[in-house]
Amino acid sequence: MNILDFCRSLISSLTRNPIPQGIRNEVDLERKFVIPAAWNIVRPNCGIRISSHPWNNKRQCAPDCQSAPISGKVEKGCPRCWAESKKWASVATFGTHHDFDLVARDSKGKTLAVEVKFIGAKGGRKPNSEIQRLPGQCSLAKTKHDAVIGLCGYRGSPDPRWERDTQTVRGWFKRRDIFLIFRAVG
């Protein structure tokens, strides 16, 4: 599997699969929805390596992170994989350092970054600053990664008046292999 096939499969999963109940914040959305969706796509020896936050997980890939996908045991949330991914996946720019919520690399070195946000819509509007952060972080990710997925989970009911240019913006990002997904969270 190459990174673009993985990206397409992950987009399909993130747009179609039901979001689990009990999502309260961004960490929940990432841990209970995004990361399981990504791992459900990856099969042994498919050529995709995923790195995500370990959240106090101490178990590591065996015998090591490089050979585990071929002849060992891959550990979801391996702290060594996560630490190692900073070298190739993070973006340091304008005096800041940007890590992404999930990153993946295929056997040819092509990469994907996933950024997750969780917001509330009040009075029919989503908060401008959070909406601006998601495409901004996705754009920074694209400077280093071959494809980027930005997932925004939100509570509330947005007013359709504020969606007039959404498809134009989505198309602009999609032409650059940045895929923005907005999902209501129950």
**Chain segment 38-53, per-residue pLDDT in tens:** 999 987 668 899 999 9
Tens of pLDDT along 60-80? 888 888 777 766 688 888 999
pTM: 0.92
Q: What is the pLDDT of residue 71?
A: 64
Cβ(4)–Cβ(47) under 8 Å?
A: no
Cα–Cα distance for residue pair 16/107, rounded to 1 Å: 27
Task: List the chain domain ranges.
Answer: 3-184
Rg (CA), the chain: 17
Instruction: Kindly give the pairing relationship between strand 111-120 and strand 48-52.
Output: unpaired
Residues of the chain short of pLDDT 50, as ranges, are: none
CB-based contact 153:116 (threshold 8 Å): yes
Extract the tokens encoding 51.
């790195």
Beta bridge partners of 178: 148
Is 181 exposed, middle or buried, given 0-12, 13-18 or 19+ CB atoms closer than 10 A?
A: middle
Phi, psi of 159 (to 5 degrees): -75, 125
